[in-house]
Amino acid sequence: MQQNYGGDALNTATYLARTAQPERIEVRYVSAMGTDKLSSRMIERWREDGINTDWVLLAENRQPGLYLVQLDAEGERTFLYWRDQSAARYLLRHPDYPQVLAGLQDMDMVYLSGISLAILPEEDRFLLLQQLADLAAKGVEIAFDSNYRASLWESLAHTRDIYTRLMPLVSLALVTFEDDQAVWQDADENATITRLRQNGVKNIVVKSGKRGAVFSNDKGVYCHVPTTPVAHVVDTSAAGDSFNAGFLNGYLQGKDWETCCRQGNQLAGVVIRHRAPLSTERQPLLFGMRSAESSVKSRPSEITPVSDGLIYLKLLKGAFQTVS
């Protein structure tokens, strides 16, 4: 058994920070952590990866959540969670959170996931939805990955209600078909795209694992972008999260959507060759280049301190225009 760290929004923030040019895209992570040594070390690692942690709040009486990841022979995973008393669960109640909220209107994009919402107390979910509505009204782009984990929600009805309220605010959906099928019983990727469009989402990417991704955008472009098969899959824990990072790296720079999806497929293909949601290899993962293959074999399970939160992205002035 081995200890590592991760979290779906954190995984995306990390791989985006590793692949983006820091003079062009600023990646800010918003969450809450404890004041213990484990929390401090995790935050230090995020900074090393190029993530701005100014808005990671500290709570003396709380710690990171934990989850147990168990891997099968194909690298597929199952999870057990211990998150009920994590610092991130009570992020919106932290006394310094209003200062963070005041700074968010200067961001170009906020990225969150279904887990970002699921871990919150119910009243805080509605509060966050209102805050996101206010940000969207001020021109901040909202990106969302549904990332459904049934064990984190009170019921499927709760999940559907929150997702339905959120969708009209979302300008970019980066969803996994398997997750959306579990929530909405969609027949196929086209059904997912149709449903999301009916809910007001204009730009949609549906990830389908080995089949690659399908996208439909507000320009009327629809395309399936296949992925290159990976011969030896070690761990799929961060496959969708790293795809999102690769896609956003291109999207924020105004690249065409097919290129963005290819970047997402390429980065996910690198990440799933390594053990743990965040590879400990420190080499930058640049598009067109691959990091050295890990020599460490997969182990059957690992305990992972988890940080749940949101990502705020700022396009630095003079680099390029915000994608609207």
Alpha-carbon distance of 125 to 121, in angstroms, equals: 6
Beta carbons of 80 and 57 less than 8 angstroms apart: no
Q: What is the DSSP string of 46-60?
A: HHHTT-B-TTEEE-T
241 in active site: yes
Which backbone phi and psi does 120 adopt, to 5 degrees? -75, 150
* Count of positions (residues) in the chain: 324
For residue 270, count CB atoms less than 10 angstroms from its CB and return exposed for 0-12, middle for 13-18, buried for 19 or more.
Answer: buried
Cβ count near 127 (within 10 Å): 14
Q: Which of 49, 108, 235, 241 is catalytic?
A: 241
Element (H, E) at 69: strand 65-71
Residues 6+ apart with CB under 8 A from 52: 26, 27, 28, 29
Active site residues: 241
